């Protein structure tokens, strides 16, 4: 794996694919700068070497051409603030302004190209567009894990124009090493915690990680598909009735791979989907008619914590309850506490996937786990064992 540490950027223009697809408020001010902060070490190293940086990113989902609300000029001041460098902004991607500003870029300077998705050729993986981008720089650096699962012009196709001058930035390196630790190199016992709503969205992950893990904790909405498949009464809990057979197959596969499966034993049931609903703790196999499972119960929290306490490598993808509602967040909080404690004692913990990342940030666990992935879809596809185009393009 070639990283930026394998290159000296003195007098070189580094063409860096970053992922600055950041959330903004109604006034287009950045509300979460995590992704910009994550790219800073890579950019710093290049500038410190005496090189310059040309940043490529997308923002939002513009439809067929430039749209002001998706213009990168709105996030340029935040990028400048975080990098501590006055960022030059191009008003196009591969047009005259971008070419002129790239050509005149001096060591220590940073140029931010306009939104690459203002060109349909980006998402189409157009080779001519990739070549025009490539002409702007000397070395290609991919530091955008969040888009590594896309075979777009700036994430994958461009790399072929840099046969001997392409590498990963620090963020990409960290992301790939974190996933590798879970799937290959981490100390055992390895525990995977999968939550969220649907079994169907996790089946390929489960299939791929079974040979690598010792324990599988299942929680969240998909719990009830497993419970119903085993003959339990789940009331009006969320369920995928067409996946009952699949749930039993997963349990059988876990048994064949000597993986211990932990499902909730008790849960907090509610009489409707609301924070103010009536609630009670019941056996997960005996949820009364008209009630629905909304969170793990106290016995389950203790069971899961005991498993995590003994784990040396932990993967967490998906919440255990409806954590957006305060009254049903206790199970996910208890899980966060257990993972934080295990991490403090030396375990490696990786958190990934939109809802889990939202939870750890909201409840300030992001500093208490080993690594929080910046790329939801890319991380999930990695865990499914798929080759990511943005990774393969740099490795080949």
Same domain, 211 and 261: yes
**Residue 316 has which token pair?**
């967490």
At residue 109, φ and ψ (nearest 5 deg) are -100, 155
358 within a domain of the structure (yes/no): yes
CATH number at residue 220: 3.40.50.1260
191 within a domain of the structure (yes/no): yes
Same domain, 161 and 182: no
Domain end point (choices 135, 168, 201): 168
Residue 203, pLDDT score: 86
Domain end point (choices 132, 150, 168): 168
391 within a domain of the structure (yes/no): no
Task: Map tokens 């067409």 to a residue.
Answer: 242
Same domain, 326 and 274: yes
Same domain, 259 and 162: no
* DSSP conformational letter for 324: T
Same domain, 33 and 179: no
Buried/exposed 98-129: b ≥16 CB within 10 Å, e otherwise: beebbeebeeebbbbbbbbbbbebbbebbeeb
Same domain, 139 and 187: no
390 within a domain of the structure (yes/no): no
Q: Under a CB-based contact definition with an 8 Å cutoff, are residues 82 and 55 in contact? A: no
Q: Under a CB-based contact definition with an 8 Å cutoff, are residues 338 and 309 in contact? A: yes
Q: Under a CB-based contact definition with an 8 Å cutoff, are residues 340 and 198 in contact? A: no
Same domain, 144 and 30: yes
Strands 266-270 and 279-283, bridge-based pairing: antiparallel
Domain end point (choices 140, 168, 196): 168
Question: How many domains does the chain contain in total?
Answer: 2
Residue 377, pLDDT score: 78
Shortest CA distance to 175 belongs to which of 320, 388, 13? 388
394 within a domain of the structure (yes/no): no
392 within a domain of the structure (yes/no): no
Shortest CA distance to 359 belongs to which of 313, 295, 297? 295
Residue 354, pLDDT score: 65
Same domain, 159 and 258: no
Residues making up the annotated binding site are 19-21, 35, 58-61, 117, 150, 202, 293, 324, 353-356
396 within a domain of the structure (yes/no): no
Same domain, 125 and 215: no
Residue 226, pLDDT score: 95
Same domain, 160 and 115: yes
Per-residue pLDDT of the chain (396 residues; tens, 9 = 90+): 899 999 999 999 999 999 999 999 999 999 989 899 999 999 999 999 999 999 999 999 998 789 999 999 999 999 999 999 999 999 999 999 999 999 999 999 999 999 999 999 999 999 999 999 999 999 999 999 989 998 999 999 999 999 999 999 999 999 999 999 998 998 999 999 999 888 888 888 898 999 999 999 999 999 999 999 999 999 999 999 999 999 999 999 999 999 999 999 999 999 999 999 999 999 999 999 999 999 999 999 999 999 999 999 999 998 999 999 999 999 999 999 999 999 999 999 999 876 888 889 889 998 999 999 887 778 888 888 888 999 999 998
Same domain, 34 and 136: yes
269 within a domain of the structure (yes/no): yes
Q: Which residues are catalytic?
A: 35, 198, 354, 377
Measured CA distances, 297 to 100, 275, 322, 376 (Å): 62, 16, 13, 28
Same domain, 49 and 187: no
Residues making up the annotated binding site for (2R)-3-phosphoglycerate are 35, 117, 150
Q: Which domain holds residue 87?
A: 4-168
What distance in Å separates the CA atoms of residue 354 and residue 143, rounded to the nearest whole number?
Answer: 19
Cβ-proximal residues to 47 (8 Å cutoff; 6+ apart), any chain: 53, 85, 107, 108, 110
């Amino acid at each position: 794996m070639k990283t930026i540490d394998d290159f000296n950027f003195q007098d070189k223009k580094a063409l860096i694919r970053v992922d600055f697809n950041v959330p903004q408020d109604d006034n287009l001010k950045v509300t979460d700068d995590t992704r910009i902060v994550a790219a800073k070490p890579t950019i710093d190293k290049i500038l410190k070497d005496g090189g310059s940086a040309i940043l490529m990113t997308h923002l939002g989902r513009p439809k067929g051409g430039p749209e002001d609300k998706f213009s990168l000029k709105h996030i340029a001041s935040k990028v400048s603030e975080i990098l501590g460098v006055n960022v030059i902004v191009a008003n196009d991607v591969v047009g005259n302004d971008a070419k002129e500003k790239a050509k005149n870029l001096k060591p220590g300077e940073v140029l931010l190209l306009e939104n690459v998705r203002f060109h349909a050729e980006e998402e189409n993986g157009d080779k001519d567009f990739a070549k025009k981008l490539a002409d702007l720089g000397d070395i290609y650096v991919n530091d955008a894990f969040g888009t590594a699962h896309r075979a777009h012009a700036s994430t994958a196709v461009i790399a072929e124009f840099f046969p001997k001058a392409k590498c990963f930035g620090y963020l990409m390196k960290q992301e790939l090493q974190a996933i590798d630790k879970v799937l290959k190199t981490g100390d055992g016992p390895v525990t995977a915690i999968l939550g969220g709503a649907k079994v169907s969205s996790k089946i390929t992950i489960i299939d791929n990680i079974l040979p690598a893990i010792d324990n599988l904790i299942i929680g969240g909405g998909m719990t009830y598909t497993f419970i119903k498949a085993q003959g339990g009464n789940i009331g009006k809990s969320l369920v995928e009735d067409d996946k009952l057979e699949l749930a039993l197959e997963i349990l059988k596969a876990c048994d064949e791979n000597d993986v211990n499966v932990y499902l909730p034993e008790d849960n907090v049931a509610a009489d409707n989907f609301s924070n103010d609903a009536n609630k009670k703790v019941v056996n997960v196999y005996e949820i009364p008619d008209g009630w629905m499972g909304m969170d793990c119960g106290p016995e389950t929290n203790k069971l899961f914590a005991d498993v995590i306490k003994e784990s040396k490598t932990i993967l967490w993808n998906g919440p255990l309850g409806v954590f957006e509602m305060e009254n049903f967040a206790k199970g996910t909080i208890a899980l966060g506490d257990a993972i934080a404690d295990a991490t403090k004692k030396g375990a490696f913990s990786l958190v990934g996937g939109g809802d889990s990342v939202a939870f750890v940030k909201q409840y300030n666990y992001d500093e208490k786990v080993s690594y929080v992935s910046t790329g939801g879809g890319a991380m999930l596809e990695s865990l499914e064992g798929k080759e990511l185009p943005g990774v393969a393009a740099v490795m080949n």
